[in-house]
Structure 1
């Protein structure tokens, strides 16, 4: 039994990276704010292993009064992106594409699940991701699902540690629009960031 618990913990720890210690100042965040066009929405990103179908990471983009990506225990880091408490600020369409490109490679693809929401739902989500703070490695799906559960209209979400479980829960919603993004490079997240910005 103890061996099974150790193996389960090890498999969880391989799912998400360790959070960044970088914390942008309020002034740096204010300078990076990006206000999106279109209706408010929430987008759940799931990084899926191309061979096994297992989940490697979960994150949440909030598009409301500003557009941010809550990247719990994530490894996306760039000098031109302000980050605080696992929230990436200034996520313009170019940066969102850079984010997806950084995670998609020969071994993983990115599933995007977009849901149009009310302005109140989007602002509640923004408030929640900003107040959550950085989380430890392997808690990406847990933190994201816990936040979603607190948003009106998402109360039926079950809190989970598993990215695929959360993705499948979201897939049951009739209002979800799903997209899959693939790349075929051999690099990691940092290589993908460099490629996206060149």
Structure 2
């Protein structure tokens, strides 16, 4: 009886965690936002890590191919200049990339996280394969960000050994074994990041401003 009560109480939480984001930006907004970088094509694993206990909080991919996008499975980031289709964010210029990182690198009561960006240079063809895999993955259920990232990586040449599961740190530890990887780390207030587009409120929410 007690077990059934626990299951009944847990069911709404489980269902809430399974809701996928079905955002679908218009063709016009995606075309208008498109950003192409002159930098070496690459695939970067973004990991959000708790400051206090070192636990993994989120995983995403920054992919620089024929255009630069972020695959943000089950993510909460929103910006009017980064249209989204099923967890793929378009218009990822260097400034928008920094805004995305700054959104996750926060030092607020009960929310203290830093961000690591691990980057592997690849060919344009490999990067575009990863973009297509992200676009074809579909929306990811809440709490399944690692699974979504792993699915995309396993569809990409050179990254097929990516582990699944639910641990951003386990995925990151594997990614760090990929040949040629380099790492950058960002904390709240990092001067390398863009500030001003998004203002972090005391409750952890964000208010957006146009420049």
TM-score (norm 2): 0.80
- Is 1:177 matched up with 2:182? yes
Structure of greater Rg:
2
- Distance across 2 between alignment mates of 1:162 and 1:27: 36
| Greater share of residues in helix | 1
CA distance 1:188–1:175, shift in 2 (3 Å)? farther
CA distance 1:64–1:17, shift in 2 (3 Å)? farther
User: Are the counterparts in 1 of residues 70 and 90 from structure 2 also a CA contact under 8 Å?
Assistant: yes
Give the match for residue 95 of structure 1. Answer: 96
Which runs of 5 or more residues in structure 2 are unaligned? 190-199
Give the match for residue 39 of structure 1. Answer: 40
Q: Which has the higher contact order (CA 8 A, sep 6+)?
A: 1
Give the match for residue 126 of structure 1. Answer: 131
Question: How much does 1:173 deviate?
Answer: 2.2
- Distance across 1 between alignment mates of 2:203 and 2:64: 26
CA distance 1:181–1:68, shift in 2 (3 Å)? same
Which of 125, 140, 144 is 1:135 aligned to? 140
- Distance across 2 between alignment mates of 1:178 and 1:153: 18
Which runs of 5 or more residues in structure 1 are unaligned? none
- Distance across 2 between alignment mates of 1:20 and 1:77: 12
User: Are the counterparts in 2 of residues 103 and 188 from structure 1 also a CA contact under 8 Å?
Assistant: no
Question: How much does 1:64 deviate?
Answer: 0.4
Question: How much does 1:77 deviate?
Answer: 0.6
- Distance across 2 between alignment mates of 1:122 and 1:63: 6
User: Are the counterparts in 2 of residues 17 and 75 from structure 1 also a CA contact under 8 Å?
Assistant: no
TM-score (norm 1): 0.85
- Distance across 1 between alignment mates of 2:54 and 2:72: 21
User: Are the counterparts in 2 of residues 20 and 75 from structure 1 also a CA contact under 8 Å?
Assistant: no
Which of 151, 157, 161 is 2:162 aligned to? 157
Q: CA RMSD in A?
A: 2.6
